[in-house]
């Protein structure tokens, strides 16, 4: 239980994961939106956070003591919006306005547009710095909330990330958790070939972070890990979540064409079937 | 000016627990008093300006009022996108203090002086842009900035600038301050170039020309009431700035002028930095002279222009 919220059992969480995947693919089709692969790689991380770790009050989204979450890989907004809807921040129907003309559900999240969105993101490399500021604020005001930042692996090529990686341990931000959705792809190729990212865990460790690796699709394992680091030291925490781009749909998995490809009606039908929906 | 910033902020921080000071590893002992009094609200963010701006954003989103301090060339020049997205787009009350805007640090070479900072910040929606003329205006600008609900860029000089105001003027963001009255021309000076403007005005008086001198400390929002009156009352309105002629005070006034129909309007003359970099070692005084910004050159240039009108 977190803050009066009962954590669902494994089967229910896995089913929720499939349902959110199906909704993401269908909405992407209807709204002709890209970035499906990167959405599917982080759905389980988002579920582990919102359904198994973070202390939030959907009915009071600006509750001062809430845990903060920043989707620094803003291009996965559709997955994020869908998870927030299932967590009760707003009705799911609102997400279906995603990316439509004048919708507040923008293709990259905008702060204050939507309950639960804590920062504007989309330009990569901003979230960890903003999250560090929020974690610093919690320290100054002696507030116990934690700040979680979800980044992509390609995003770790931004120099500003490494500025924040140096800053957070220097300021003893043990209340900051960075999660890397390590799907090993970026827009135009393998992230480890385009830049020398690997080994990420060792890099974070060398910079003074408490670094962990986890299967980014094992919701139960992630919940156990996230809860075990709850009363950590004053070292910030980095979690390298090993994921698969396009996870959950056979013809999307590890196929980087799904960075930019919009699912067709046929794709939606096939995907839904694979996920167990008709 | 930098000492007055530090002193004023330290005083304000005593009564306002929201104030947090972030600096980019410059100033050495300048903030010792602040650190001593408020150790948990002072952060040397290292030589990492992009992160410093994002951290300031995160603090502001959590209810704090961060002040960010380093050279203008680095806290505006380097992290433009963080300023644009994190501060300006999100409209956060973060005050960026830019040390040594203009040619203050021209002797340190092209990396350390910046004549584009006002253009860069002025182009951003939600941004307030202020250039105090002396230590007194600096203190007033900091107090005024703390009352704003969005981001503010304050460009200051370095140290030991001449003090123009003997007493604290009525300083309102977006309202110019008349320093000297005159009936023949109106000179709008912004920032630390103002002492040269005043000295030039005194020389012009020797030629029989009586200038009104204004400390036009806010570039955004513009004091359009003052501008309207200036262009109605004077045959020549001169803007003087230690900034590129692209995007600064002269540009802002020219833009406003071209957008407004005034039946009888004075001529606009812009004096500022040419659209070029300096590739040689140069002292600020010498560079100002080269761009007609020394008192003598200013007076001469304005005098020539004024005579053309008569």
Q: Which residue of A lies nearest to B50 if distances are taken between CA atoms?
A: A160
Q: Give the per-residue pLDDT at A109.
A: 97
Q: How far apart are the first and last CA of chain B?
A: 40
- Which residue is closest to B83 within chain A, CA to CA? A126
pLDDT digits (tens, 9 = 90+) for A44-63: 999 999 999 999 999 999 99
A135 vs B contacts (CB less than 8 Å): 58
To the nearest whole angstrom, how far is the Cα of A63 from the nearest Cα of chain B? 12
Chain A residues lying within 8 Å of B62, measured CB to CB: 133-134, 137-138, 141
Average pLDDT, chain B: 96
pLDDT on residue A231: 59
Distances (CA, A) of B169 to B92, B95, B172: 27, 21, 9
Between β-strands A237-242 and A210-215, what pairing exists: parallel, antiparallel or unpaired? parallel
At A215, is the pLDDT very low, low, confident or very high (cuts 50, 70, 90)? very high
Answer whether residue B70 shows pLDDT above 80. Answer: yes
d(CA A204, CA A206): 5
Which residues from chain A sit within 8 angstroms of residue B51, using beta carbons? 129, 132, 160, 163-164, 166-167
**What is the 3-state composition of chain B as percent helix, strand, coil, each rounded to the nearest 5?**
45, 20, 35
Give the pLDDT mean for B194-209.
97
Task: Give the residue on A whose Cα is nearest the Cα of B39.
Answer: A140
Report the distance separating Cα A94 and Cα A90, nearest Å: 7
Residue B116, both tokens: 């584009």
Residue pair B42/B48 in contact by the 8 Å Cβ criterion: no
Q: Does B125 touch chain A (CB under 8 A)?
A: no
List chain B residues with CB under 8 Å of A129: 50-55, 57-58, 82, 86
Which of the residues B48, B62, B75 would you substitute to probe the A interface, choosing the one with the greatest number of A C-beta atoms within 10 Å?
A: B62
Query: Per-residue DSSP letters for B10-56?
Result: HHHHHH-TTEEEEE-S--GGGGHHHHHH-GGGEEE--S-HHHHHHHH
- Whole-angstrom distance, CA of residue B279 vs CA of residue B272: 18
Q: Does B20 touch chain A (CB under 8 A)?
A: yes
pLDDT digits (tens, 9 = 90+) for B35-48: 999 999 999 999 99
- When pLDDT is averaged across residues A157-186 and rounded to a whole number, the result is 97
Shortest Cα distance, chain A CAs vs residue B248, angstroms: 28
Neighbours of A169 (CB within 10 A): 18
Q: Is B55's CB within 8 Å of A141's CB?
A: no
Question: pLDDT tens digits, residue range A114-152?
Answer: 999 999 999 999 999 999 999 999 999 999 999 999 999
Beta carbons of B178 and B120 less than 8 angstroms apart: no
Residue A230 clears pLDDT 80, i.e. is over it: no
B297 CA: distance to closest CA in chain A (Å): 44
DSSP B162: P
Is some CB atom of chain A closer than 8 A to the CB atom of B70? no
Answer for the pair B104, B157: CB distance below 8 angstroms, yes or no: yes
Domain ranges within chain A, ordered by starting residue: 10-274
Torsion of CA B170, B172, B174, B179, to 10 degrees: 20
Q: Per-residue pLDDT averaged across B125-138, rounded?
A: 98
Nearest CB neighbour to A167, from listed B55, B60, B86: B55
Of A120, A170, A171, the CB nearest to B89: A120
**Is B172 within 8 Å of chain A by CB?**
no
Amino acid A187: pLDDT: 93
CB-based contact B54 A120, cutoff 8 Å: no
Residues of A with CB under 8 A from a CB of B: 111-112, 118-120, 122-123, 125-126, 128-141, 159-160, 163-164, 166-167, 170-171
Residues with Cβ within 8 Å of residue B31, at least 6 apart in sequence: B6, B10, B21, B23, B42
Write the residue in A138, A139, A163 that is nearest to B50 by C-beta: A163
Q: Tens digits of per-residue pLDDT, B271-299? A: 999 999 999 889 999 999 999 999 999 99
Averaged pLDDT, B151-167: 95
Confidence band for A5, pLDDT divided at 50, 70 and 90: confident
The confidence score (pLDDT) of residue A232 equals 60
CA B45 – CA A164 distance, rounded (Å) = 9
Q: Which domains are present in chain B?
A: 2-156 (3.40.50.970), 177-308 (3.40.50.920)
pLDDT of B121 reads: 98
Say which CATH class A10-274 falls into: alpha beta
Q: If you average pLDDT over every residue of chain A, what do you get?
A: 95
Contact B51 A131 (CB under 8 A): no
Q: Is A63 exposed, middle or buried (0-12, 13-18, 19+ CB in 10 A)?
A: middle
Which residues have a Cβ under 8 Å from the Cβ of B57 and sit 6 or more positions away? A119, A129, A130, A133, B82, B86, B87, B90, B92, B94
The answer to whether B299 contacts chain A (CB < 8 Å) is: no
For residue B106 the two structure tokens come to 């021209």
The pLDDT tens digits for B98-116 are 999 999 999 999 999 999 9
CA dist A25 → A112, A161, A263, B66, B262 (Å): 25, 30, 7, 41, 58
Q: Does B64 touch chain A (CB under 8 A)?
A: yes
Residue B92, helix vs strand vs coil: coil
Q: Do A132 and B51 touch (CB under 8 A)?
A: yes
Search chain A and give the residue with CA nearest B22: A133
**ipTM over the 0.90 cut-off:** yes
Task: Give how far B102 is from chain A: nearest CA, Å.
Answer: 26
A228/B128: higher pLDDT: B128
- Three-class SS state of B98: strand
Q: pLDDT at position B262, please?
A: 85
pLDDT of amino acid A39: 98
Are A134 and B41 an interchain contact pair (Cβ–Cβ within 8 Å)?
no
State whether residue B73 sits within 8 Å of chain A by CB: no
């Amino acid at each position: 239980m977190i803050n009066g919220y009962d954590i669902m059992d494994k089967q229910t969480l896995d089913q929720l994961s499939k349902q959110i995947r199906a909704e993401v693919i269908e909405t992407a089709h209807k709204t002709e939106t890209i970035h499906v692969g990167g959405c599917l790689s982080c759905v389980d991380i988002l579920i582990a956070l919102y359904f198994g770790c973070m202390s939030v009050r959907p009915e009071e989204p600006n509750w001062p003591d809430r845990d903060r979450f920043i989707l620094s890989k803003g291009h996965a907004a559709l997955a994020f919006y869908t998870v927030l809807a299932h967590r009760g921040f707003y009705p799911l129907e609102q997400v279906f306005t995603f990316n439509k003309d004048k919708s507040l559900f923008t293709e990259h999240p905008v702060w204050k547009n939507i309950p639960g969105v804590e920062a504007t993101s989309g330009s990569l490399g901003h979230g960890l710095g903003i999250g560090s500021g929020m974690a610093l604020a919690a320290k100054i005001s002696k507030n116990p909330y934690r700040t979680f930042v979800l980044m992509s692996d390609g995003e770790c090529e931004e120099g500003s990330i490494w500025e924040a990686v140096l800053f957070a341990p220097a300021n003893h931000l043990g209340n900051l958790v960075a999660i890397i959705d390590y799907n090993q792809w970026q827009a135009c190729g393998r992230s480890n070939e385009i830049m020398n990212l690997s080994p990420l865990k060792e890099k974070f460790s060398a910079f003074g972070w408490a670094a962990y690796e986890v299967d980014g699709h094992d919701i139960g394992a992630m919940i156990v890990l996230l809860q075990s680091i709850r009363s950590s030291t004053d070292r910030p925490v980095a979690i390298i979540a090993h994921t698969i781009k396009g996870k959950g749909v056979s013809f999307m998995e590890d196929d980087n064409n799904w960075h930019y490809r919009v699912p067709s009606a046929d794709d939606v039908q096939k995907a839904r079937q694979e996920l167990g929906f008709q | 000016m930098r000492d007055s910033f530090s002193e004023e902020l330290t005083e304000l921080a005593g009564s306002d627990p929201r104030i947090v000071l972030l600096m980019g590893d410059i100033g050495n002992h300048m903030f010792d008093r602040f650190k001593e009094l408020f150790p948990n609200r002072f952060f040397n963010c290292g030589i990492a300006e992009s992160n410093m701006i994002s951290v300031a954003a995160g603090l502001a989103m959590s209810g704090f009022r961060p002040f960010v301090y380093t050279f203008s060339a680095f806290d505006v020049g380097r992290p433009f996108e963080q300023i644009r997205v994190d501060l300006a787009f999100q409209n956060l009350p973060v005050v960026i203090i830019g040390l040594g805007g203009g040619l203050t640090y021209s002797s340190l070479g092209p990396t350390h002086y910046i004549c584009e900072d006002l253009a860069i910040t002025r182009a951003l929606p939600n941004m307030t842009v202020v250039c105090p003329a002396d230590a007194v205006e600096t203190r007033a600008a900091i107090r005024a900035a703390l009352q704003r609900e969005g981001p503010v860029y304050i460009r200051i000089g370095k140290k030991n600038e001449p003090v123009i105001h003997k007493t604290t003027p009525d300083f309102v963001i977006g309202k110019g301050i008349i320093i000297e009255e005159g009936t023949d021309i109106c000179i709008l000076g912004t920032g630390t170039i103002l002492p040269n403007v005043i000295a030039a005005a005194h020389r012009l008086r020797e030629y029989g020309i009586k200038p009104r001198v204004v400390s036009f400390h806010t570039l955004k929002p513009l004091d359009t009431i003052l501008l309207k009156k200036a262009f109605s009352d004077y045959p020549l309105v001169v803007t003087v700035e230690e900034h590129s002629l692209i995007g600064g005070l002269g540009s802002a006034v020219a833009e406003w002028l071209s957008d407004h129909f005034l039946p009888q309007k004075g001529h606009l003359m812009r004096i500022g930095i040419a659209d070029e970099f300096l590739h040689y070692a140069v002292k600020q005084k010498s560079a100002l002279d080269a761009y007609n910004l020394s008192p003598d050159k200013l007076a001469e240039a304005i005098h020539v222009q004024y005579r053309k009108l008569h």
